[in-house]
Amino acid sequence: MVSSEAAPLAKTGGLADVVGSLPAALRACGDEVAVVIPRYGSVDLKSARRVYDSLPVFLGPTRYVTSIYQAPAEFPCFLVDCPPLYGRKGFYGESGVDYPDNHIRFAVFARAALGVARFLFRAQVLHCHDWQTGLVPAYLQTTFSSDPTFLGVQTLFTIHNLGYQGLFPRTVLPEVALDPAVYKPDGMEFFGHLSYIKGGIAFATALNTVSPTYAREIQTPEYGFGMDGALRARAADLTGILNGADYGVWSPEADALLPAHYSAADLAGKRVVKQHLVAEFGLPEEAMDRPLIGIVSRFTRQKGTDILAEVAGQMVAEGIYLVALGTGDPEYEEFFRGMAAEHPGQIAVRVGFDNRLAHLIEGGADMFLMPSRYEPCGLNQIYSLRYGTVPVVRATGGLDDTIEEGTGFKFREYSGAALLGAVREAARAFGNQDLWREMMVRGMQKDFSWKASAAAYSALYRRLLGGL
């Protein structure tokens, strides 16, 4: 698997959770899996082994020198080290601004990953994730098309989020040593730009995305980000496979980051966790008996911040409490800070990335809100089900596929009014604690572990290899 993130080493979102947990589940299906990620500045090499010295990557006349480390993990996890390119504070940028050399960073990464596949782990399938790895299938189909090492090697490209495309001026083509033939509408050209995600879409043997509904949605103009035509052209090779949850990490029975534990059979500990959450966020004691909504999210346009902004004041006026943790666009961070300042004691916000707090909110809140404009899969609503934290979600993508009447609340129209309607309905339901507990327990008993989805990936790899 070639990816720009893998938990716990490098994480900004759900991609890391998926790449960090799917390999172990695949092993149970009989597959041997290794993962390759860049070695960012925050990734500690102390316990890693250097397994390849000075792997050169030539992009045209320019030579980049990388070294490959292997981190201790349940499966081989290779780190591509090249301090001038990856040894920085951010993964993709800083303070909301992308690094100007991302085209080079992820071209070198793609080449180095092919180096790993050549020298360290002879994979039959290269499973690539998101735009950062779109050059892997592109290079394989062009530069390396007659290289005997890669003869018969198949590629699967997983789209975790079509909203991030890796768009660069066409003039970078020679800098990243791409065959100019790829620059065409049914290749990597996208409205006068070079699109890395289209490298995956056009050149991978097969494509998938992370829920069945999102697989359908991205083939429509509404959700296609201008790529719906390219995706429809590959409809026969495009499937939707729902993400799974790693219940070893995300379960209230054993969560090492929670101050108390609980289960469907004994919910008492959940109130203790709520108490800690209320104290941590400085909310008043009254919040203990009122509905408390949690949010853990990248603060971006995708996540529905604008419709939340429309109705947050009204929610608060109706006696609902809100805690939010997130980081992202400075503009949205400001909005959340402002909301907390306007409603002190009812809305509390922490801007930043904090895994312990993410677990505390999952465990301590009564409801979990995801009003996403679009959501390829979404993991937090799946975790919320397991924590008895009833999801309130917009019915889109994976949110629609995982939440049903009886386990959560859904609204369809992307509007503040529809969001408020669903929150009100949830708050009303919370008023009847016996029925509410039944709803919590129904959610807690759902099984979204990797078992079924890992089997689907494994079957797909085997199909690509001609039914091996």
Prior bond of 8 cis (ω within 30°): yes
In order of 47, 197, 325, 330, 366, the CA distances from 351 in angstroms are 30, 30, 6, 10, 21
Residue nearest ligand ADP, CB atom distance? 14
Report d(CA 450, CA 24) in Å as an integer.
Answer: 9
* Backbone dihedral angles phi then psi of residue 239, each to the nearest 5 degrees: -125, 170
**Complex with ligand ADP: residue 327 or 453, whichever CB lies closer:** 327
Kindly state the smallest distance separating residue 25's Cβ from ligand GLC, in Å. 14
210 binds, among ligand ADP, ligand GLC, none (CB under 5 to 8 A by kind): ligand GLC
Asked if 180 and 219 count as a contact pair (C-beta separation under 8 A), the reply is no
Kindly state the smallest distance separating residue 386's Cβ from ligand ADP, in Å. 12
Residue nearest ligand GLC, CB atom distance? 14
Per-residue tokens: 122 = 């002879």
Report d(CA 304, CA 21) in Å as an integer.
Answer: 27
99 binds, among ligand GLC, ligand ADP, none (CB under 5 to 8 A by kind): none
Nearest residue to 82 via CA among 67, 71, 70: 67
Report d(CA 405, CA 339) in Å as an integer.
Answer: 30
Torsion, Cα 261 265 267 269, to 10 degrees, reads: -20
Binding region for ligand ADP (CB under 6 A): 13-15, 17, 296-298, 325-327, 353-355, 358, 377-380
Per-residue tokens: 91 = 């993964």
Report d(CA 414, CA 417) in Å as an integer.
Answer: 9
**Complex with ligand GLC: residue 243 or 389, whichever CB lies closer:** 243
In order of 35, 128, 293, 321, 420, the CA distances from 154 in angstroms are 16, 11, 44, 50, 47
353 binds, among ligand ADP, ligand GLC, none (CB under 5 to 8 A by kind): ligand ADP
414 binds, among ligand GLC, ligand ADP, none (CB under 5 to 8 A by kind): none
**Complex with ligand ADP: residue 144 or 353, whichever CB lies closer:** 353
Strand partners, 209: 159, 240
**Complex with ligand ADP: residue 276 or 298, whichever CB lies closer:** 298
Report d(CA 452, CA 241) in Å as an integer.
Answer: 9
Q: Which helix (H) or strand (E) holds 312?
A: helix 305-317
Terminal alpha carbon distance of the chain: 19
Per-residue tokens: 413 = 């129209």
Asked if 333 and 327 count as a contact pair (C-beta separation under 8 A), the reply is yes
**Complex with ligand ADP: residue 27 or 298, whichever CB lies closer:** 298
326 binds, among ligand GLC, ligand ADP, none (CB under 5 to 8 A by kind): ligand ADP
Report d(CA 115, CA 68) in Å as an integer.
Answer: 9
Asked if 10 and 91 count as a contact pair (C-beta separation under 8 A), the reply is yes
Nearest residue to 133 via CA among 190, 177, 196: 196
**Complex with ligand GLC: residue 17 or 81, whichever CB lies closer:** 17
Kindly state the smallest distance separating residue 76's Cβ from ligand GLC, in Å. 22
Kindly state the smallest distance separating residue 335's Cβ from ligand GLC, in Å. 20
Per-residue tokens: 422 = 């669903």
355 binds, among ligand ADP, ligand GLC, none (CB under 5 to 8 A by kind): ligand ADP
**Complex with ligand GLC: residue 11 or 198, whichever CB lies closer:** 11
Kindly state the smallest distance separating residue 214's Cβ from ligand GLC, in Å. 8
Kindly state the smallest distance separating residue 249's Cβ from ligand ADP, in Å. 9
Kindly state the smallest distance separating residue 159's Cβ from ligand ADP, in Å. 12
**Complex with ligand ADP: residue 38 or 376, whichever CB lies closer:** 376
Asked if 85 and 110 count as a contact pair (C-beta separation under 8 A), the reply is no
Kindly state the smallest distance separating residue 372's Cβ from ligand ADP, in Å. 8
**Complex with ligand GLC: residue 217 or 375, whichever CB lies closer:** 375
Helices of type H across 227-379: 228-233, 268-280, 305-317, 330-342, 355-364
200 binds, among ligand ADP, ligand GLC, none (CB under 5 to 8 A by kind): none
Kindly state the smallest distance separating residue 252's Cβ from ligand GLC, in Å. 21
**Complex with ligand ADP: residue 311 or 360, whichever CB lies closer:** 360
* DSSP category for residue 50: E
Binding region for ligand GLC (CB under 6 A): 13-15, 18, 160-161, 210, 243, 375-379, 398
Kindly state the smallest distance separating residue 296's Cβ from ligand ADP, in Å. 5
**Complex with ligand GLC: residue 137 or 376, whichever CB lies closer:** 376
Kindly state the smallest distance separating residue 22's Cβ from ligand GLC, in Å. 10
325 binds, among ligand GLC, ligand ADP, none (CB under 5 to 8 A by kind): ligand ADP
